[in-house]
Amino acid sequence: MENEICRIERMMASALDGDQMKMLHGVLIACLCGVGQEPGASRTPEEHLAAFLAAKELEGCSLRSTRYYASTLGRFISQIDKPVSEIVTDDIRAYLAEYALRNGAGKVTIDNIRRVISSFFSWLESEDYIYKSPAKRVKKIRSMRVVKPVYSDEALESLRDACDERRDLAMVDLLTSTGMRVGELVRLDRMDIGFEARECIVKGKGDKERKVYFDARAKIHLLAYLEERDDFNPALFVSLNRPHRRLEISGVESRLRKLGQRARVKQVHPHKFRRTLATKAIDKGMPIEQVQVLLGHSKIDTTLCYAMVDQDNVKQSHRKFFS
């Protein structure tokens, strides 16, 4: 019966406006299901959330992203405290406004929450638990585009000089030359590295594999690091102390922060290496489509957000073409 109701609503959607669709929905529920019963009404919001998270995991969503979805949506459904079929656009807008006021959150943070909520309701709609997502009318929250800093050549050399462990030097060089994500870095095994061709295959978001390339310096330091290892852990990067466990994302982030403090380089974190590679690649003339493949982005707009063209080169090009 639920499927039939959803089928009728889809067939009538193009002919009716929002209010008319609500009226049709109520009539169908009253006549076919009985008053108070709706498609998916037997499930609680928490059960809908659990099903959504399971679907995301099946699609290959990373554990980190799944946890973010869970915490963000968990707070949302707890505060709204309504069945998902009764949540309306104004509920979402009011929640976002209150969240921003209560937590002092910026526009970027609030828009990230909006996107997660929108993804949840789009899934509910596609699974026929609701007939129309109330998040569709909540527009993207515009914010100032901040040009995020990248590492200068001097900063990278300072970081290398600050490394007193061969593992750290190899890690910095691999991040610098490949631009891989930190999650991809920690999943690498020794056998994944092709030293002769100076390339390796990494698993990105959704377990999509792609080939990345490293330079001669990274090759030399990786070989030196592996030669001094006396453990049998297949992981490429492991902890310095026994029993030499595979290095985790938090371990990489913590180590890089310490290197930054030692080198007196501000804002040192793994993602900055990725942004630096993208910026330098575009700045040196690499086609944006190739940079997209190198970084493993499904949409070229994402690549453009990562890559900030050097302003000095823009100035030189302006003089070349217009002076």
Domain boundaries, given as residue ranges, for the chain: 40-126, 153-318
Summarised one tens digit per residue, pLDDT across range 58-97 is 888 888 889 999 999 999 999 999 999 999 999 999 999 9
- Res. 34: pLDDT tops 90: no
Output helix, strand, coil percentages for the chain, rounded to the nearest 5: 60, 5, 35
Look up 167 and say whether it is catalytic: no
Q: Which of 228, 106, 125 is nearest to 167 (CA)?
A: 228
When pLDDT is averaged across residues 222-246 and rounded to a whole number, the result is 95
Q: Three-state SS for 55?
A: helix
- Res. 321: pLDDT tops 90: no
Structure tokens at 256: 């890089």
Look up 102 and say whether it is catalytic: no
CB atoms within 10 A of CB 135: 22
The answer, as to whether pTM is greater than 0.75, is: no
Look up 271 and say whether it is catalytic: yes
Confidence category of residue 208, pLDDT binned at 50, 70, 90: confident
Give residue 213's pLDDT.
95
Catalytic residue among 43, 205, 246, 262: 205
Look up 306 and say whether it is catalytic: yes
Regarding beta strands 209-213 and 199-203, do their DSSP bridges make them parallel or antiparallel, or are they unpaired? antiparallel
Q: Is 104 exposed, middle or buried (0-12, 13-18, 19+ CB in 10 A)?
A: exposed
Instruction: Provide the CATH topology of domain 153-318.
Output: hpI Integrase; Chain A (1.10.443)
Give residue 18's pLDDT.
72
Summarised one tens digit per residue, pLDDT across range 280-309 is 888 888 888 999 999 988 888 888 776 655
Residue 207, CB half-sphere, CA atoms under 13 Å: how many?
Answer: 7
Q: 40-126: which CATH architecture? A: Orthogonal Bundle (1.10)
DSSP 8-state secondary structure symbol assigned to residue 51 = H
When pLDDT is averaged across residues 224-234 and rounded to a whole number, the result is 95
Look up 136 and say whether it is catalytic: no
Look up 181 and say whether it is catalytic: yes
